[in-house]
Amino acid sequence: MIVCSEPVPPDPLNSLSAAIVACRRCPRLVAWREEVPPRAAFRAETYWRRPVAGFGDPHAAVVVVGLAPAAHGANRTGRMFTGDRSGDWLYRSMWRAGFANQPESRTADDGLELEGAWVTASVRCAPPGNKPTPQERAACLGYLREELSLLERARVLVVLGRLACEAVSSLYRLSPRPRFAHLAEHELPDGKVLVCSYHPSQQNTFTGKLTEQMLDAVFERVRALAAAGQAG
């Protein structure tokens, strides 16, 4: 007996991730991510050195948007906010809010799982000095646009830092741009809610500009907004 069946279509998020990882659009970023010298503590490790795709629950109501992979964080591990101090702060806060199953993320295979949340960035390659150019930011914007279109249950966008906020503003062609301030909220044209947070960078956390209590307040508010959106 011959059984005919339709081919199983590829998962759209996995297809997008593959396209992101293969991207070589920006020569400066390609050169930096591939040639950045390893830190002494990581010399025995093989760096990822490719663009980094988003990570999390494909049914997420909450999408966290950072700026870009860190040179010795996600550019090393291959997963957003994994293996650096910014990620330590982010995932601890998400764990306390019930979005993560563990409070830390060291490697891409350490068992971290997100529930109801997706973590991504506006730029997918580690930039020199953590400063992508406007042209590099624009070149990557289409990936974020497609990612959000595939995350059909997303109701809340959390932007970590002013540049991530500007990326979402560009994506939605907002004019004037939403005011960026910690815990500022803005309703987007498609009904999603934009929530602003200071980035958990060492510059912000070491100086006290961002505390754990401040970051926890963001995710407590985000959980309430997501729950209200699902109820509605």
Please tell me the distance from the alpha carbon of residue 57 to that of residue 151, in angstroms, as a whole number. 9
Predicted confidence at residue 23, as pLDDT, reads 98
Q: Report the predicted TM-score, pTM, of the whole model to 2 decimal places.
A: 0.94
Domain layout of the chain by residue ranges: 15-231
Q: Per CATH, the architecture of 15-231 is what?
A: 3-Layer(aba) Sandwich (3.40)
User: Among positive and negative, which fits the CA dihedral 159, 162, 168, 174?
Assistant: positive
What pLDDT digit, counting tens, does each position of 101-133 carry? Answer: 999 999 999 999 999 999 999 999 999 999 999
Residue 100: phi and psi, rounded to 5, are -130, 150
What pLDDT digit, counting tens, does each position of 8-62 carry? Answer: 456 999 999 999 999 999 999 999 999 999 999 999 999 999 999 999 999 999 9
